[in-house]
Structure 1
Amino acid sequence: MARRNDPVENASALGDAFSARNGVFSDKALLDVGYVPGPEHIVARNEEIRRLATALNPAISGAAPSNVFLYGKTGTGKSLCARYTTRRIVDAAAEEKVDVGCVVVDCSQDNTETRAVRATVRGLNDPEVTDLTIPETGLGRSRYYSLLWEVLDARFDVAFVVLDEIDCLDGTDFLMQLSRATEAKKLDRCSVGIVGISNKVRYRDRLEERVKSSLQEREIMFTPYDREALREIIRSRLAAFDGGVLDEDVISECASLAAEEHGDARKAINLLRHSGELAASEEADRITVDHVHRAKNVAEQDRMRELIDGATIQQKATLLAVTSLALVEKTRTFKTPEVYAAYEDICGESGLETLSKRRVHDLLREWEFLEVLEITRTGGGRARGSYLQHRLLEDPSVIRSGFDGSDRFAGVGFSAGEVTTTWSNI
């Protein structure tokens, strides 16, 4: 008899996992996060595109465009519309013999001034035109700026700098440099238009007055997609599947679940992809609503487990404090003193050092940035002042599942019965 670790037996048992499966997907790349659909598949954003194109339109004739900030929750089409609109403007300008360039900077990665200016100049440079080589390391910030001005004047009449997740950018000096480049006579020929993209509607409030004055930006809000818009977005990706595997009820269920929770197109598409993967793993001929529901639970748990695994021990403790309150108190919204008291209890049970209220507040803000929490300031009424409310955006039972396997917090904050509580029962 072959042993359990026999290579031949293992290869046979694992064979199906490494072989191509047919019957569900025909072009899975259409479901990737980075996939940019054609204009015929951009749904429910005509007005936002029109307003953005109007602000950037002067570039077509070589004039300076307006700066524009796009605000809205994740998955509402901000980046998609920015890339589509700037590409259309670049193409239209080329027909008028006007040189317009565009670079997209991911500020979640290039989050310092030096990294941002380096990414910008490297994205806009063409060594064959400028005879310049931009190294990834070894230069100071001022030298990268000098190269940026040189590249811009050498190549373009107008350049768009799209700053995605601009709220991650450390400081505002880069914005100041870009917005005042012409006024400060850093540029002779080229004009720069800034397109900032942020999930944080109040990002502008963080800017200094001199930066606001320099930018003079227009603002465009992207509201969450409704159910019908999400249904159309999903339909635009049907070519990812083999014919006949998707029923209309599956499309409607994906759209309904996404619309009820967040109106996030990315999550709706990911849910559809996970449903297809689950059906493929079961060698099913069709994707069903049951696949959708099971895929939703798995996707939520995986996402939360990744967030928790990447958090510090103190971040975990603050999130566990809010989660334990939600499961025990049967609500999702709590005042700061309630959260801090639960945090102190968790530190006491787990032997963790207790941080100050200010530091715990900072850690809770980090969970807000990850859209696990929502923190708002609420008036307490006459003579009662104002206070902060912390609302848990995620299902607490899903968050709790992300702590499974954590030795430090095993059983902390919950009795055996409470651990198995699910939000659907609350």
Structure 2
Amino acid sequence: MTRQGGPVENASGLGDAFSAQDHVFSKKELLDVGYVPDPSHIVARNEEIRRLATALNPAITGDDPSNVFLYGKTGTGKSLCARYTTNRIVAAASENDVTVGRVIVDCSQENTETRAVRATARGLNDPEETDVTVPESGYGRSRYYSLLWEVLDDRFDVAFVVLDEIDCLDGTDFLMQLSRATEAKKLRHCSVGIVGISNKIKYRDRLEERVKSSLQERELVFTPYDREALREIVRSRLDAFDSGVLSDDAVSECASLAAEEHGDARKAINLLRHTGELAANEGADTITADHVREARTLAERDRVRALLAGATAQQKAALLSVVSLALVEKTRTFKTAEVYAAYEDICADAGLETLSKRRVHDLLREWEFLEVLEIERTGDGRARGSYLQHRLLEDPSVVRSVFDQSDRFAGVGFTSGTVTTTWSNI
């Protein structure tokens, strides 16, 4: 095609969207979710690393390490510290002529016993060294276990099995097999250390007593990062930007917003990435605190829109009941009775069938799973007034703005006390 009057991009007004935006980013990959920072950039986790290293330290001399479970909310550095510490132990052991292996299993993907043992065996195996092939399919669970024991004894004195998102693993048989492999004579000389990682701090309560007895694990709880730690984490990614582009105000604002809302390092870094992209699209030479605030709103709205896109009308009505209350009452935590009353009004206004309180509770639990809500029981027991509290984790005004774009729920009202409220007058 012959171009007349200049490039097609300029004629259509899309030129900037397809040009390299290198006036903001220099190493954008430093802001990728999967990027693992070097040890000098691990912030505010020295004590957790020290305690984890102490538990795993016997492996350096070929002795049995302790099993350790790491708990904490998403983005608090659990996986990062587990990777760093086990790597250091592997390196230190090699200096003592002790061979230590490590495999990281993502239990959100390898969520059955068979998948988990297969992934562990494949991750630890080296076919050229063992003459063992671990196929992706075609074998039963017991055969995969046999291959795993063979690989472990052939290659290692000690092996770390890091089970990320261990709470997604179906059942506890895999933990039982790993923790009792030596006792059950499955392994001749290799010992296994389990590092479990979960954001469900009550995961251990789900384990059978025989599993708890076998594991004898230590526990480490990772608290959310505070503002100062998040500021250091954000500053550790300065190399992602051209020199002088990221202002100190933007760094502070990014850290402050993250500390106030979640203490999640991943979300803070993701916000920083969105902020840089927004500034680049605007052609800005400096990233300011205003860019951070605008990027947060846009990112939250896009995320909520994606969640709502796959939700049913009843799921939306259940969530809208909590959002509605939050906007009117100026708080984010409500009892079940309050939520259900708002839900009934919303259903009436939207022309939806009203479900039972138990079914609505199930719908709210689904939002809890997606980390939109947090539900906990409070009080001193059912006989003493125990009840559930539903806490909205999202900004209600952002969620409302997405609902405003919904044909079914735009303008839907509800009753709070004696005041009937609609979207238009909130």
TM-score scaled by length of structure 1: 0.91
Classify 1:154/1:373 alpha carbon distance in 2 versus 1 (closer, same or farther; 3 Å).
same
The reply on whether 1:162 has 2:175 as its aligned counterpart is no
Classify 1:350/1:417 alpha carbon distance in 2 versus 1 (closer, same or farther; 3 Å).
closer
Give the Cα separation in 2 of the matches to 1:245 and 1:333.
39
User: Match of 2:210, as an amino acid?
Assistant: R
Deviates more, 1:315-324 or 1:250-259: 315-324
For 1:45-70, what per-residue CA distance to the aligned partner results, in whole angstroms no more than 9, with x for missing partners?
A: 10000000000011111111101011
User: Match of 2:85, as an amino acid?
Assistant: T
Give the Cα separation in 1 of the matches to 2:122 and 2:340.
46
Contact in 1 for aligned 2:78/2:222 (Cα 8 Å) = yes
Matches within 5 A, 1:237-386: 237-379=237-379, 384-386=384-386
User: Match of 1:304, as an amino acid?
Assistant: V
Give the Cα separation in 1 of the matches to 2:286 and 2:312.
42
2:90 matched residue in structure 1: 90
Matches within 5 A, 1:78-157: 78-157=78-157
- Structure 1 residue 399: deviation in Å? 1.8
Partner-residue secondary structure (3-state), 2:284: coil
Partner-residue secondary structure (3-state), 2:14: helix
1:197 matched residue in structure 2: 197
Classify 1:274/1:113 alpha carbon distance in 2 versus 1 (closer, same or farther; 3 Å).
same
Classify 1:414/1:359 alpha carbon distance in 2 versus 1 (closer, same or farther; 3 Å).
closer
Contact in 2 for aligned 1:71/1:197 (Cα 8 Å) = yes
User: Match of 2:373, as an amino acid?
Assistant: L
Partner-residue secondary structure (3-state), 2:194: strand
Deviates more, 1:106-115 or 1:338-347: 338-347
Partner-residue secondary structure (3-state), 2:17: helix
Give the Cα separation in 1 of the matches to 2:356 and 2:139.
40
Contact in 2 for aligned 1:327/1:418 (Cα 8 Å) = no
Give the Cα separation in 1 of the matches to 2:347 and 2:145.
48
Contact in 1 for aligned 2:373/2:391 (Cα 8 Å) = yes
Give the Cα separation in 2 of the matches to 1:183 and 1:140.
23
Deviates more, 1:360-369 or 1:37-46: 360-369
Partner-residue secondary structure (3-state), 2:137: coil
For 1:321-361, what per-residue CA distance to the aligned partner results, in whole angstroms no more than 9, with x for missing partners?
A: 22222223333211122223333444444455554433432
- Structure 1 residue 15: deviation in Å? 3.0
For 1:281-309, what per-residue CA distance to the aligned partner results, in whole angstroms no more than 9, with x for missing partners?
A: 01111101111110111111122222222
Partner-residue secondary structure (3-state), 2:13: helix
Classify 1:191/1:206 alpha carbon distance in 2 versus 1 (closer, same or farther; 3 Å).
same
1:52 matched residue in structure 2: 52
- Structure 1 residue 311: deviation in Å? 3.5
Report how many aligned residue pairs link the two structures.
Answer: 416
1:234 matched residue in structure 2: 234
Partner-residue secondary structure (3-state), 1:272: helix
Q: Percent same amino acid at aligned positions?
A: 82
Contact in 1 for aligned 2:33/2:266 (Cα 8 Å) = yes
User: Match of 2:37, as an amino acid?
Assistant: P
User: Match of 2:60, as an amino acid?
Assistant: I
User: Match of 2:44, as an amino acid?
Assistant: A
Give the Cα separation in 2 of the matches to 1:404 and 1:368.
22
Contact in 2 for aligned 1:71/1:199 (Cα 8 Å) = yes
Unaligned residue ranges in structure 2 (runs of 5+):
1-6
Classify 1:197/1:339 alpha carbon distance in 2 versus 1 (closer, same or farther; 3 Å).
same
Unaligned residue ranges in structure 1 (runs of 5+):
1-6
Partner-residue secondary structure (3-state), 1:71: strand
User: Match of 2:47, as an amino acid?
Assistant: E
TM-score scaled by length of structure 2: 0.91
For 1:129-166, what per-residue CA distance to the aligned partner results, in whole angstroms no more than 9, with x for missing partners?
A: 22222222222222222222222112111111111111
User: Match of 1:210, as an amino acid?
Assistant: R
Give the Cα separation in 2 of the matches to 1:9 and 1:357.
56
1:175 matched residue in structure 2: 175
For 1:156-208, what per-residue CA distance to the aligned partner results, in whole angstroms no more than 9, with x for missing partners?
A: 11111111111122221211111111112211121111111111111111111
Partner-residue secondary structure (3-state), 1:305: helix
Classify 1:356/1:171 alpha carbon distance in 2 versus 1 (closer, same or farther; 3 Å).
farther
